[in-house]
Amino acid sequence: MLRASCKGKSLCWKRSSILSSKYNKEDFLEKRSYEKRYHTNKICHAPGQARLLLILLSVIGPGLITANVDNDATGITGYSLAGAQYGYGLLWAVVLVTISLAVVQEMVARMGVVTGKGLADLIRERFGVRITFWSMILLLIANLATTVAEFAGIAGAMDIFGVSPYIAIPVAAIIVWVLVIRGSYKYVERILLALCIIYASYIFSGFLVHPDWGQVFHDTIMPPIQLNQGYLLTLVAVIGTTIAPWMQFYQQSAIADKQIPVAHLRYEQIDTYVGAFLTDFVAFFIVVSTGATLFVHHIQIKEAKDAALALAPLVGGNGHIAEILFGVGLLNASLMAASVLPLSTAYSIAEAFGWERGVGHNFKEAPQFLFLYTFIIVVGAGITLFVPKDRLVFVLNLPNIVGGMLLPLVLVLMLILCNDRRLMGRYVNRRFYNFVAWATTIIMTILTALIIWTSIFPFP
């Protein structure tokens, strides 16, 4: 376990004897090297409030990036379908799942800071190779399905601009692959993150459509819950797209790579909480916008551009401009997620089995890592080419349901790790975190069982 104590203006890192066998001298020196880099003269000699701000800016990133990528093509589709099919009837789920998202992502953030390791690495050390192997297989299946959905999002977005999917998908796959392999993805990532401001259009549209705010409040507080398969599938999709399994692995690996000191844990927690709030704030207004437009006029989302009608009030009712705005936003979200998901998956699997990893390596140095990354992109893009145009929306929403069903398995492993005092020391879960995480796990398990039951014995 890592402990931090202040002596003057430096941090002294101490490791408990319980984990000393898992950390060699190089690990310790690397951590100390990071400590020295972190405590530059600029930070140490800055005034009190300015110093805190500088530390926050140096730590911030993993939580916000993970949250922004979460509002990807599958997220936009899942929330739009919820609003179009059930109006404001699932807003309660968006509000409650925000709390779950903040708690779950804070848990991985805390594990990443305290242990300096990724989630896949900790699963292998704690549970052994067999459980790790099956965990990675499930992660690969879920993330591959989501990657297919991201390329489906690219196809749907480019269809708005009249570009054939047989051109758009291969070109997008090549661009994504080259950007990461050549190590220039970080620069593009900043551009894509900046373009996420387009998501704010849903917030403005949510006010311009003049929803019945009394009804919005009523359905959020006293939801009209339905016990039918369609409602349950949509509910699981909303939760599954909000707390997708890839997010836990991605954020913890990103934090472990940054080697954030334990003394700066609270800043990473701020990063995580803000990210969780922002992503679901946008999600809330996506449901409101589609509920006040598509649901009211009984318009079903059969193609990606159908969801663009929710943005029409923002551009004076001009449907064509709304389609363009939606197309740019969907393309941006899909490209960013199509870059992050294969990379995150390959990184998690390579981390789990101790393979060399990193975009700075070539195929000779990290063959398994780069093969996995290439495989996921090629298969994801290839499958999408065979998806009929009228099935793109279904493909976009399917990973949300799959992810929601797999989420309890990931949460159980996380809960065991986060409550292990040998691993986390005094940073183990508090009661509130255990309550929320276990409640989320149990609810998702019950919902999955209900979906299976209603598939066999439909409700009247």
Q: Per-residue pLDDT tens for 140-176?
A: 888 888 898 889 888 888 888 888 889 999 999 998 8
Residue 18 predicted with pLDDT over 50: no
Alpha-carbon gap, residue 93 to 136, rounded angstroms = 28
Q: What is the CA radius of gyration of the chain?
A: 22
Judged by average pLDDT, the poorest of 86-90, 296-300, 349-353 is 296-300
Determine the residue type at 298.
H
Query: Token pair for residue 378?
Result: 């090629």
Query: Which has the closest alpha carbon to 199: 278, 115, 98?
Result: 278
Residue range 46-64: mean pLDDT, rounded: 55
Query: Token pair for residue 78?
Result: 């899942």
DSSP-H helix ranges across 386-430: 392-418, 421-424
Contact 341, 154 (CB under 8 A): no
The CATH number of 56-456 is: 1.20.1740.10
Residue 254 predicted with pLDDT over 70: yes
Alpha-carbon gap, residue 310 to 297, rounded angstroms = 11
Q: What is the pLDDT of residue 184?
A: 57
Instruction: Give kind and range of the element (H or E) at residue 3.
Output: strand 2-7
Q: What is the pLDDT of residue 61?
A: 63
Judged by average pLDDT, the poorest of 42-46, 258-262, 316-320 is 42-46
pLDDT band for position 189 (cuts 50, 70, 90): low
Q: What is the pLDDT of residue 21?
A: 36
User: Residue 278's Cα: distance from chain center in Å?
Assistant: 12
Instruction: Identify how many contiguous H helices and E strands the chain contains and give both numbers.
Output: 19, 2
Pairing between β-strand 10-15 and β-strand 2-7 as defined by DSSP bridges: antiparallel
pLDDT band for position 8 (cuts 50, 70, 90): very low
Residue range 85-114: mean pLDDT, rounded: 91
Alpha-carbon gap, residue 335 to 192, rounded angstroms = 8
Q: What is the pTM of this model?
A: 0.78
Residue range 240-250: mean pLDDT, rounded: 85
Judged by average pLDDT, the poorest of 63-72, 109-118, 263-272 is 63-72
Contact 345, 246 (CB under 8 A): yes
What is the SS3 assignment for 36? helix
CB count in 10 Å sphere of residue 347: 24
Contact 240, 408 (CB under 8 A): no
Query: Which has the closest alpha carbon to 399: 19, 72, 54?
Result: 72
Query: Token pair for residue 51?
Result: 């110093």
pLDDT band for position 355 (cuts 50, 70, 90): confident
Query: Which has the closest alpha carbon to 338: 226, 215, 174?
Result: 174
Instruction: Give kind and range of the element (H or E) at residue 90.
Output: none
Which residues on adjacent β-strands are paired with residue 7? 10
Query: Per-residue DSSP letters for 269-317?
Result: HHHHHHHHHHHHHHHHHHHHHHIIIIITTT----SGGGGGGGGGGGGTT
Alpha-carbon gap, residue 266 to 113, rounded angstroms = 10
Domain ranges in the chain?
56-456
- Which residues, 6+ apart, have CB-to-CB distance to 358 below 8 Å? 366, 369
**How far apart, in Å, are the Cα atoms of 191 and each of 161, 195, 367?**
21, 6, 29
Q: What is the pLDDT of residue 433?
A: 92
Read off the DSSP letter of residue 450. Answer: H
Residue range 269-289: mean pLDDT, rounded: 88
Residue range 66-83: mean pLDDT, rounded: 81
pLDDT tens for each residue of 380-435: 999 988 888 777 777 777 777 777 788 888 899 999 999 999 988 899 999 999 99
Determine the residue type at 451.
I
Determine the residue type at 30.
E
Query: Token pair for residue 377?
Result: 């992109």
Average pLDDT of the residues of the chain: 78
pLDDT tens for each residue of 213-224: 999 999 999 888
Q: What is the pLDDT of residue 41?
A: 47
Residue 26 predicted with pLDDT over 50: no
Query: Per-residue DSSP letters for 39-73?
Result: S-HHHHTS-HHHHHHHHHHHH-SHHHHHHHHHSSH
Read off the DSSP letter of residue 15. Answer: E
Judged by average pLDDT, the poorest of 268-272, 283-287, 305-309 is 305-309
Q: What is the pLDDT of residue 377?
A: 93
Residue 43 predicted with pLDDT over 70: no
Contact 258, 31 (CB under 8 A): no
Residue range 185-201: mean pLDDT, rounded: 65
Query: Per-residue DSSP letters for 134-192?
Result: HHHHHHHHHHHHHHHHHHHHHHHHHHHTT--HHHHHHHHHHHHHHHHHTT-HHHHHHHH
Alpha-carbon gap, residue 434 to 428, rounded angstroms = 10
Place of tokens 């609003």: 83
Alpha-carbon gap, residue 417 to 428, rounded angstroms = 9
What is the share, in percent, of the chain residues with pLDDT greater than 90? Answer: 16
